[in-house]
Homo-oligomer: A and B are copies of this chain.
Amino acid sequence: MQRYFLAEDAGLNERFTIQSADDVHHIKNVMRSSAGDQIIVNFRNGVYVCRLTAVDSSVEVEATEALDITTELPVDVTIASGLLKNDKYEWMIQKATELGAAHFIPFVSERTIIKVDQKKMEKRLERFNKIVKEAAEQSYRRHVPTVTFQPGSKALAELTVDYDQVLVAYEEEAKAGETKKFHAALKSMAPGTRVLIIFGPEGGLSAAELEIFGGRTIGLGPRILRAETAPLYALSAVSYFFELMV
């Protein structure tokens, strides 16, 4: 059923106005709806069945029933990546939020070239979380991802026990022509699986890091992807597999 989007928080029995010309045109002239008819509206805090109360140059609706519909991915994906230069990391988390990531863990890997200053890191984390919140709101996501920092690979390795599956995107796998492991991993996941996908910085991950992370190393296709692109590939593939191949 057609869904409309409103950048507001809804509550049962509250009224809202749809003013977007496209949406008003669609409701009035394409769907030919009138007062009393029902439509579905995606608010920032959820999806509601709404009853049209007035149809004119704008459309007024009343939220009558909350629906259990989500724009979240069916699996919970955390993106852990070696710290990148600011603008690249900020682009990545913004796009990755549009693409459905649940959490972000920037970490200082063996080959991270960025210098990390503890005080500055706090400010950067504030900014990262702000970027992610804005991106989540603009994508009408119900879940706002978090960005939490880990000061080293060992610290990240200690978190792996919190996940159902740990995948490590390893460039060497791409070079060895590995193509099957990512798909095999996705096929094995039930809805709600908590997945951690670890990506290296520009210089890649070291063999020692692979050892302490455990999990499965996976390739992401035969082309070399930059550190800020690889997470977007992985999230798109997860969405395609779970949401478009049904």
Interface residues of A, Cβ cutoff 8 Å to B: 1-5, 22, 42, 70-71, 91, 95, 98-100, 138-141, 172, 175-177, 179-180, 182-183, 204, 219-226, 229, 232-233, 236-237, 239-241, 243-246
Quickly give the copy total for this chain. Answer: 2
Do A5 and B244 form a contact, CB below 8 Å, given A99-B233, A233-B239?
no
In the complex, chain B residues whose CB is within 8 Å of the CB of A220: 244
Do A1 and B139 form a contact, CB below 8 Å, given A222-B243, A223-B99, A233-B99?
no
Q: What is the chain B residue whose CB lies nearest that of A174? A: B3
B4, B179, B204: the one contacting A175 at CB < 8 Å is B4
Cross-chain contact A2 with B71 (CB below 8 angstroms): no
A244–B177 Cα distance when bound, in Å, is: 10
Q: What is the chain B residue whose CB lies nearest that of A234? A: B236
Cross-chain contact A246 with B3 (CB below 8 angstroms): no
In the complex, chain B residues whose CB is within 8 Å of the CB of A70: 222
B3, B22, B139: the one contacting A223 at CB < 8 Å is B139
In the complex, chain B residues whose CB is within 8 Å of the CB of A246: 179-180
Cross-chain contact B140 with A245 (CB below 8 angstroms): no
* A233 CB to nearest B CB, Å: 4
B175, B182, B183: the one contacting A2 at CB < 8 Å is B175
